[in-house]
Amino acid sequence: MPNNAQIHLDNRPQGEATASNFKLVQATTPPLADGQVLVRHHYLSLDPYMRGRMNDAKSYAAPQPLGQVMQGGTAGEVAESRSPKYRVGDKVVGMGGWQEYSVVDVSQPGALRKVDTTHVPLSHYLGAVGMPGVTAWYGLVKIIEPKAGETVVVSAATGAVGSALGALAKARGCRAVGIAGGPDKCKYAVDELGFDACIDYKQHQDAASLSKALKDACPNGIDGYFENVGGMVLDAVLLRMNAFGRIAVCGMIAGYDGAPLPMAYPALILTNRLKVQGFIVSEHMEIWPEALAELGALVGSGKLRPRESVAQGLAAAPEAFLGLLKGRNFGKQLVKLI
């Protein structure tokens, strides 16, 4: 069986996460039992939710265990199979974690999924046509429930979730407005992702300034907001929400280091009769087939052109992950292993 480099969570962050929280270790893959397959990972997915799981705190999922492989999405191919459902060479996605190989029991529901790379590159199944894309789909379709002509805003607009949200909103006849960090990201959002406008939050020191920019970009107010960031950005959006607006809360990356995220204008939730709903996409597996079909069609037709930031080699994963938390990525953050 092949040697298998792995990255473990070695210790929990005290405030901001650092590279010293992780440890690169060498292991060997165990022999396969009946019903198992060996997957060689081509790509690892790095996602903001992983930061919250590094803390030993109550959340929607159990904390990442210390001394074990960092958990996360993977895309690769079957290297060996003892299951009639999978053949060597099949392209698959799963939750193999931060390691070069994983042994998967295919009887576990949702543990592994075959994918077709004829029209969609393998890496996109970890982004636009994977969990991030489905996250955008659920928040938009099931919580925001947009109508044609409405204005939908998304923070972290050029990331894996935000870029899919923009394409999905435009497909429903909405005005799509993004919030992103830096002129290059905003230009990409408008020129390549098809957003009607994009605001560079780095040009604004406070919620009042950002809210003024939102007023210019959203002359008819904001009907739906997809939240990835929190903090000042949420305050600015709340000031521009229309009555009976809907907010889908997916992430709060501004608070992932454990600092409180107070809201400046919570009374607006009442006065504007807003619906504010958090969600975890893995609790809604029933919608994945429908969402993935639409997302795959958008990518295949060129209506969604996702960008990727790709770090090379397993050892690069911690620094790439820390960069993601700082917004240094441009599009979906991946680690390429082969």
According to DSSP, the residues that pair with 151 across neighbouring strands are 175
pLDDT score for 59: 79
**Would 297 be classed as within a structural domain?**
no
| Same-domain pairing of 40 and 111 | yes
| Same-domain pairing of 120 and 146 | no
Any idea what the CATH number is for the domain that residue 186 is in? 3.40.50.720
| Same-domain pairing of 159 and 275 | yes
Instruction: Give CA–CA dist 52/126, Å, rounded.
Output: 19
Phi/psi of residue 214, nearest 5 degrees: -65, -35
**Would 57 be classed as within a structural domain?**
yes
| Same-domain pairing of 54 and 30 | yes
Q: Average pLDDT by consecutive 10-residue portion of the chain (338 residues)?
A: 94 95 96 97 96 87 94 98 97 98 93 92 96 97 98 96 97 98 96 97 97 98 97 97 98 83 95 98 95 94 93 98 93 96
| Same-domain pairing of 269 and 136 | yes
Size (the chain), residues: 338
Any idea what the CATH number is for the domain that residue 315 is in? 3.90.180.10
Q: Provide the 10 A C-beta neighbour count for residue 18.
A: 13
| Same-domain pairing of 224 and 238 | yes
Instruction: Give CA–CA dist 266/46, Å, rounded.
Output: 32
Instruction: Tally the domains of the chain.
Output: 2
| Same-domain pairing of 50 and 17 | yes
User: What token pair was written down for 37?
Assistant: 């397959």
According to DSSP, the residues that pair with 222 across neighbouring strands are 241
Instruction: Give CA–CA dist 58/63, Å, rounded.
Output: 8
Within 8 A by CB and 6+ apart from 269, the residues are 238, 276
**Would 87 be classed as within a structural domain?**
yes
**Would 274 be classed as within a structural domain?**
yes
**Would 291 be classed as within a structural domain?**
no
pLDDT score for 62: 85
User: Which string of b and e fits 113-140 if b means at least 16 CB within 10 Å?
Assistant: eebeeeebebbbbbbbbbbbbbbbbbbb
Domain around 137? 131-282
* Prediction pTM value: 0.93
| Same-domain pairing of 84 and 10 | yes
| Same-domain pairing of 225 and 135 | yes
| Same-domain pairing of 20 and 162 | no
Cα–Cα nearest to 137, from 173, 166, 94, 176: 166
| Same-domain pairing of 138 and 240 | yes
pLDDT score for 94: 97
